[in-house]
Amino acid sequence: MKYLITGATGGLGGHILEYFIAQIPFSDFAASSSSPENRSRFESRGVNFRHLDYENPTTLNRALHDVENLLFISTNANVIDVEKVKRQHRNVVEAARKANVKHVWYTSLPFGGLTNDSEVSVQRAHLATEKMLKESGLTFTCIREGIYVEGFPLFLNWYPETTLLTLPGDGEIAFTSRVELAVCTARLMIQGGFENRIVLLTAGETITAKELVSVINETTGRRVELRYVSPDEFVDAGPRNDRGGKSRAFFETLVSLWESAASGELRTTDGLMAEILGRDPIPPRDAMCIEWLQGYKEA
Per-residue pLDDT reduced to its tens digit, 215-273: 999 988 999 999 999 999 999 999 999 999 999 999 999 999 999 999 999 999 999 99
Q: 179, exposed or middle or buried, with CB in 10 Å at 0-12, 13-18, 19+?
A: buried
* CATH number for the domain running over 3-145+177-201: 3.40.50.720
Mean pLDDT of 94-106: 99
Work out the average pLDDT over 87-115.
Answer: 98
Q: What is the pLDDT of residue 218?
A: 92
Order across the sheet with 103-108: list the strands: 48-51, 29-33, 3-5, 69-73, 103-108, 140-145, 197-201
| Residue 297 binned pLDDT confidence (cut-offs 50, 70, 90) | low
pLDDT tens digits for range 46-68:
999 999 999 999 999 999 999 99
User: Taking the CA of residue 16 as centre, how many other CA atoms within 13 Å lie in the half-sphere pointing to its CB?
Assistant: 30
Check residue 229 and give its pLDDT. Answer: 98
CA–centroid distance for 68 within its chain: 23
CB distance 235 to 255 below 8 Å? yes
Around Cβ 37, how many Cβ atoms within 10 Å? 8
Where in the chain are the domains?
3-145+177-201
**What integer pLDDT is reported at residue 46 of this predicted model?**
98
Q: What is the separation of C-alpha 298 from the centre of its chain, rounded to a whole number of angstroms?
A: 30
